[in-house]
A and B are shown apart, each in its own frame.
Chain A
Amino acid sequence: AQSVAQPEDQVNVAEGNPLTVKCTYSVSGNPYLFWYVQYPNRGLQFLLKYITGDNLVKGSYGFEAEFNKSQTSFHLKKPSALVSDSALYFCAVGLSGNTGKLIFGQGTTLQVKP
């Protein structure tokens, strides 16, 4: 069965410091991985995705993620955090079979303090 895990419920980082939000996955076949961000009482906004190719994926708002096949990870990173980055972050994996369905991780709250 395909699954996504985000091992940290919350990540705290000081503004200006680098941030990492962790995600590991379990899939059969090639993984298709996504990161979304959710601000309070809002829907999800797409940040980036990995389908194939370069393991380092660059996305919106200065975020990037590194696909690591051997560690089955897809951690989200940003070199310098902003207070406005504080939000709920979801990692997701696309299910095979061309259904378009996504399986989401449990989410990680990022808190960036000034």
Chain B
Amino acid sequence: GAVVSQHPSRVICKSGTSVKIECRSLDFQATTMFWYRQFPKQSLMLMATSNEGSKATYEQGVEKDKFLINHASLTLSTLTVTSAHPEDSSFYICSAFPSGGTSYTDTQYFGPGTRLTVL
């Protein structure tokens, strides 16, 4: 089946540092990936759409300069949390479409998530 991986699974960093999270589609190509944020016992909040070869599109209220997204290949998208602060601590999850395109009838496959803790 379609597998999406994330690295690292867990990261702890000091306030003010930057952290990069990788999202990879292991057995398929993905033109589009999505980044979500999830607070404890809460739903997923869509942060941005990552498009291969072009700029990411961010949801309203998400700071694009803080959450840098790069989708350099059809199997890799990265989310960099710049100058992280404790309020950025969260569970970050990515997803991707195995068909290589996007359709609201397609099934997204999700990565296992990355737990970010900013001290």
Binding site for B on A (CB under 8 A): 32, 34, 36, 41-46, 49, 51, 88, 90, 94-107, 109
Partner of A90, one of B32, B44, B95: B44
For residues 83 through 115 of chain B, which have their beta carbon under 8 Å from a beta carbon of chain A? 91, 93, 95, 97, 102-113, 115
Total number of B residues with any Cβ neighbor in A under 8 Å? 27
Contact indicator B93/A43 (Cβ below 8 Å): yes
A46-B108, A49-B107 known; 20 other A-B pairs, CB under 8 Å?
A32-B104, A32-B105, A42-B112, A43-B112, A43-B113, A44-B44, A44-B93, A44-B95, A45-B110, A88-B41, A90-B44, A100-B49, A100-B104, A100-B106, A100-B108, A101-B34, A101-B49, A105-B43, A106-B42, A106-B43
Q: Which residues of B contact A51 (CB under 8 A)?
A: 105
Contact indicator B43/A99 (Cβ below 8 Å): no
Q: Which residues of B contact A44 (CB under 8 A)?
A: 44, 93, 95, 110
Question: Which residue of chain A lies nearest to B102 when distances are taken between CB atoms in the complex?
Answer: A100
- A51 CA to B104 CA, complexed, in Å: 9
The 4 closest A-B pairs by CB, nearest first: A100-B102, A94-B104, A43-B110, A44-B110
Q: Is B79 an interface residue (CB 8 A)?
A: no
Q: Which residues of B contact A42 (CB under 8 A)?
A: 112-113
**Count of A-B contacts judged by CB separation below 8 Å:** 68
Q: Is B68 an interface residue (CB 8 A)?
A: no
Partner of A102, one of B4, B108, B112, B113: B108
Q: Which residues of B contact A49 (CB under 8 A)?
A: 105, 107
- A96 CA to B32 CA, complexed, in Å: 16
> In the complex, how many angstroms separate the beta carbon of B110 from the nearest chain A beta carbon?
4
- A101 CA to B109 CA, complexed, in Å: 12
> In the complex, how many angstroms separate the beta carbon of A79 from the nearest chain B beta carbon?
24
Contact indicator A99/B115 (Cβ below 8 Å): no
Question: Which residue of chain A lies nearest to B4 when distances are taken between CB atoms in the complex?
Answer: A43
Q: Is B56 an interface residue (CB 8 A)?
A: no
